[in-house]
Amino acid sequence: MRVLMVASECVPLMKTGGLADMVGGLSQALVGLGCDTRVVMPSYPGVAERVRGMKQIAWYDDLFGGPANLAIAEVDSGPSFVLLDAPHLFARPGNPYLGSDCKDYPDNHLRFAALCRAAARLVVEQPGGWTVDVVHGHDWQAGLTSAYLSLGDAGLPPKVFTIHNIAFAGLFPAGELTRLGLPASLFDPEGLEFYGQISFLKAGLVFSDRLTTVSPTYARQLQSTELGMGFEGVLLARRNHLTGILNGIDESTWNPETDPLIANPFSSRSLVGKRANRAALQSTMKLELDATSLLFVVVSRLTDQKGLDLLAAAIPALVAQGGQLALLGSGSTALEALFERAAVDHPGRVAVRIGYDEPLSHLLIAGGDAILVPSRFEPCGLTQLYGLRYGTIPIVARTGGLADSIIDANEAARAVGAATGILFGPDDLTELERALARAFELFADQVAWESLIHAAMCQPVGWDRSAAAYKHIYELARADQFGR
Ligand code: ADP
């Protein structure tokens, strides 16, 4: 089966968050299942230098204001990349969505419409005879692909669209419709209109044949007013075509036995290396070298979604019970300031690193005793899955993919050795503090804690099962089409 992924970011070429991990991990796993997979994405600065043997396959004299070309880089293993080189849109260093003023680029609608146009063209023109069996778009940046393809003839391949986070709706002024090359007929509540604006995300939801999201619980939550963020009606109407599939993690990158970014490899058979990583983490982050304290870690974007303001409020309780906290993240200046203040108030017990740091994230996840994910909502979440793999016990809010991936250490689950973490009610400081108290209680009983570690590390978190589930969705989408 030939699968064309459309995404604004993909590991290993560009990453700002879990979207890139998912597109890269799933594409790689699909190749393993025999799918000929290509990922079309923008050629941001530095991206083309990281792939070899680029071959031009299409070009434009004018793609939304400048010349552009599409080039393919075949790779030895894994998916091939088709890079959209459009310097007037993408030759901008740093974050792919934000300018140096930390605001969205004002032409983001043109930038990602260009990506979608290029993807649609690959599907229609089949350069090199590569016929696409399924087009799979990810998040709002890829949403217009389905709209452009819906304007083509009926023989085009089916479109699958994945919602990674409904909070990003890709909203732009209605007046831009013509400039985007879309007919006025699509600007309708049944089409891509969202309360008077164009929503790229809604285009993906309405014009795709099958929808997926990144966990079964989030698939249900998306149909509620509480978490549907205004799209619940569309998703309720399309519920028979919406499937939640939990993300996996890339186990060639995240494996405590082979991780080159940690000094001391370890496995569930021997945790000696984990203890050495813990000491290395304390020393790197300038925490007290305390072998007995419960060391919590966080690796996260610092945004309201992640519920970290609640964690900041719980720090006095965490420290009072003898805990330590190491946090790596960046985002809202208010949250950054809150955690930097906490580090000053609790020297040696709370350490904070503001920024994006891949190697340090591996050390935190390898060296921590417990990883905190107190999100208000969380479509899937990846760091709790890394935590499972590295025996760093996830303490997570009961929402979205967090609820689907962690088994709470209640009496029944512990009795059968199934517990892998601690769950608590989201958006509730008392619940979070209770969860921390439970963690301290379990940690004080090293036999109980090690049994959690073993169960966590044995939990399957790779892509195998989930990639097979996506392949099944592709087959269903194709069957729907042939049945039409
Ligand atoms: P989201 O996509 O909402 O940010 P996820 O948990 O799905 O959250 O994915 C976040 C990804 O980004 C994970 O791979 C995580 O390790 C990584 N990450 C987040 N913040 C940082 C950071 N400051 N430094 C390094 N990696 C980070």
For residue 14, what are its two tokens? 């560009």
- Band of residue 481 on the pLDDT scale cut at 50, 70, 90: confident
- Band of residue 480 on the pLDDT scale cut at 50, 70, 90: confident
> What is the sign of the dihedral through the CA atoms of 183, 188, 190 and 194?
positive
Mean pLDDT of the chain: 96
Give the HSE-up count for residue 422: Cα atoms under 13 Å, Cβ half-sphere.
Answer: 26
Q: What is the pLDDT of residue 338?
A: 97
Q: DSSP class of residue 251?
A: T
Say if residue 473's pLDDT is above 80. yes
- Band of residue 149 on the pLDDT scale cut at 50, 70, 90: very high
Provide mean pLDDT across the span 10-19. 94
Q: Are strands 197-199 and 193-194 parallel, antiparallel or unpaired?
A: antiparallel
Q: What residues does 56 pair with on adjacent strands?
A: 71
Closest C-alpha residue for ligand 1 atom 19:
300
Ligand 1 pocket test, pick from 162, 373, 382, 385 with the greatest ligand atom count within 8 Å of Cβ, gives: 382
Q: Cis peptide before 316, with omega less than 30 degrees from 0?
A: no
Say if residue 266's pLDDT is above 60. yes
For residue 145, what are its two tokens? 């692909």
Closest CA to 454 of 249, 267, 253: 267
Q: What topology does CATH give the domain 272-458?
A: Rossmann fold (3.40.50)
Provide mean pLDDT across the span 339-360. 97
Domains 2-248+464-482 and 272-458 fall in the same CATH topology: yes
Q: How far is CA 455 from the centre of its chain?
A: 24
**Tokens 């699958």 appear where?**
160
Closest CA to 375 of 120, 167, 177, 195: 167
- Asked if 364 contacts 341 with a C-beta cutoff of 8 angstroms, the reply is no
| Any ligand 1 atom below 6 A from CB of 361 | yes
Closest C-alpha residue for ligand 1 atom 9:
18
Q: Where are the domains of the chain?
A: 2-248+464-482, 272-458
Three-state secondary-structure class, residue 74: coil
For every residue of 158-213, DSSP letters joined together read PEEEEES-TT---EEEGGGTTTTT--GGG-STTTTEETTEEEHHHHHHHH-SEEEE
**Tokens 């939640």 appear where?**
244
Closest C-alpha residue for ligand 1 atom 12:
17
d(CA 53, CA 72): 8
d(CA 6, CA 174): 24
pLDDT in tens, 427-438: 999 999 999 999
d(CA 451, CA 453): 5
Provide mean pLDDT across the span 453-457. 98
CB count in 10 Å sphere of residue 50? 11
CA–centroid distance, residue 250 to ligand 1 (Å): 13
pLDDT in tens, 377-425: 999 999 999 999 999 999 999 999 999 999 999 999 999 999 999 999 9
Buried-state track 77-94, b at ≥16 Cβ within 10 A, e below 16: ebbbbbbbbbebbbebee
- Band of residue 483 on the pLDDT scale cut at 50, 70, 90: low
CA–centroid distance, residue 349 to ligand 1 (Å): 23
Provide mean pLDDT across the span 463-473. 97
Ligand 1: atom nearest CA of 305 is 3
Q: The domain at 2-248+464-482 falls in which architecture? A: 3-Layer(aba) Sandwich (3.40)
Q: What is the pLDDT of residue 35?
A: 97
d(CA 164, CA 181): 26
Q: What is the pLDDT of residue 76?
A: 67
d(CA 226, CA 230): 9
Say if residue 484's pLDDT is above 80. no
| Any ligand 1 atom below 6 A from CB of 21 | yes
| Any ligand 1 atom below 6 A from CB of 8 | no
Distances from the Cα of 68 to the Cαs of 76, 86, 91, in angstroms? 26, 4, 11
Please tell me the pTM assigned to this model. Answer: 0.95
CA–centroid distance, residue 18 to ligand 1 (Å): 6
pLDDT in tens, 51-107: 988 999 999 999 999 999 999 997 667 899 999 999 999 999 999 999 998 899 999
CB count in 10 Å sphere of residue 158? 24
| Any ligand 1 atom below 6 A from CB of 356 | yes
3-state secondary structure 427-454: CCHHHHHHHHHHHHHHHHCHHHHHHHHH
